[in-house]
Amino acid sequence: MEFKFNFEPVMKSDFINVNRSSIYKSDKKYGFESFRFRVDLPNKNYDVKIVFKNLEVDVAKANVMVFPRRIMLKDLKIKYGEVLQEEFTVNVKDERIVFEIETDGAEVCSIEVKEAQKPIVIYLAGDSTVCDQENLPYAGWGQAFGCFFKKGVSISNHAYSGRSSKSFIEEGRLEQILQTIKEGDYLFIQFGHNDQKDDKRYTVANTTYKIMLKVYIDEARKRGAVPVLVTPVARRHFDENGKIAGSGLHFDYPKAMRELAEEENVFLIDLLQMSSQLYEKLGVEESKKLFVYAKPGEYPQFPEGVEDNTHFNMYGAYEIARLVVEGIKKVDLKLREYLR
């Protein structure tokens, strides 16, 4: 399956020629929804090629997101008179790609979408700090992860808010991943925030938590995929000395995950350590910029404002995703060959 869309005034015979009046209609399977451009497609992985042109300003900038608010291309720079072509691979789960393109002077010349041939798929299993958050101001680091990879690597984000290593399995979410994960793919596993909760999601760090995590490891390996354990990202809980402490460090869960990684010879990205170091480097006040902080009335859903020291805004999600990428380099995953 392939779509080629031309957005320039000059018609192209081998493209679908569209303009701002090309409103989305379900029978056509493409068109504009407000300022976004939608294409309906089966749930698969697709290679996308976007061509930009700048005839307006000295240097134009551009960012590309796809539904639900996943960053695919970030901080592109297009010089005056330049035509820039960029490519990426995207995973489609909701039978549509919705492009949201921000630019301050460049224009989009064309978008081409073609089914990807044997991409490497990184599956994400985790909680609200990882998942695709549809509504502002929240964002999970999985939403920003894709922009760090070249064409040929796709992010399939199955993380879901409020889930523990146990409830993710019980609800059949791991099974959904196992239906399509294949040899050469990766399964990144980050749990711990909700394993601490005193309800049916609870696991004991040194016993049931390890048992649950081993299920992910074993099932990925059975299918020829590479499991990667990711220690739970730190909460922004400072002590009087400016250090992340207490529940910010997730008690015994990261230690248990590190032990399991060694016991099972599994790659480990120590996101807890890296994120707590980042918060401490930024300090008590500057680190707030990573998280969901809002004044009264700033967002309709928070009429009295909000101070959330667990969940990220999009800037914070990007910075945490960047740490995960640093972890990929540190443990020397073969994936590093596909980084931008």
Q: What is the pLDDT of residues 206-242, one digit of tens each?
A: 999 999 999 999 999 999 999 999 999 999 999 999 9
In which band, very low, low, confident or very high, does the pLDDT at 2 lie, cut at 50, 70 and 90? very high
Q: What are phi and psi of 142, to 5 degrees?
A: -65, -25
At residue 301 the predicted structure's pLDDT band, cuts being 50, 70 and 90, is confident
Catalytic residue among 165, 193, 311, 319: 311
Distance of alpha carbon 283 from the chain centroid: 25
Q: What's the whole-model pTM score?
A: 0.96
Q: E strands within the chain?
A: 2-6, 16-17, 30-33, 36-40, 45-54, 59-66, 70-79, 83-91, 96-103, 106-115, 120-125, 153-157, 186-189, 226-230, 267-269, 291-294, 306-312
Catalytic residue chosen out of the listed positions 128, 165, 276, 287: 128
The 10s digit of each residue's pLDDT in 179-195 is 999 999 999 999 999 99
Q: Position of tokens 């307006």?
A: 56
* Look-up of token digits 């099972």: 264
Q: What is the mean pLDDT of the chain?
A: 96
Residue 136 has pLDDT above 90, yes or no: no
**127 Cβ contact list (under 8 Å, min separation 6):** 159, 160, 161, 162, 163, 164, 190, 191, 193, 194
Identify the structural domains of the chain with CATH numbers, from first to last: 2-115 (2.60.120.430), 120-338 (3.40.50.1110)
Q: What is the pLDDT of residues 66-97, one digit of tens each?
A: 998 999 999 999 999 999 999 999 999 899 99
Is residue 319 among the annotated active site residues?
no
Is residue 297 predicted with pLDDT exceeding 90?
A: no
pLDDT for position 299: 86
- Clarify whether 307 is annotated catalytic: yes
Q: CA 7 to CA 115: how far, in whole Å? A: 21
Annotated active-site residue 128? The verdict is: yes
Q: Residues 6 or more apart from 332 whose CB is under 8 A from it?
A: none
Catalytic residue among 175, 307, 326, 337: 307
Residue 1 burial class via C-beta count within 10 angstroms: exposed 0-12, middle 13-18, buried 19 and up:
exposed
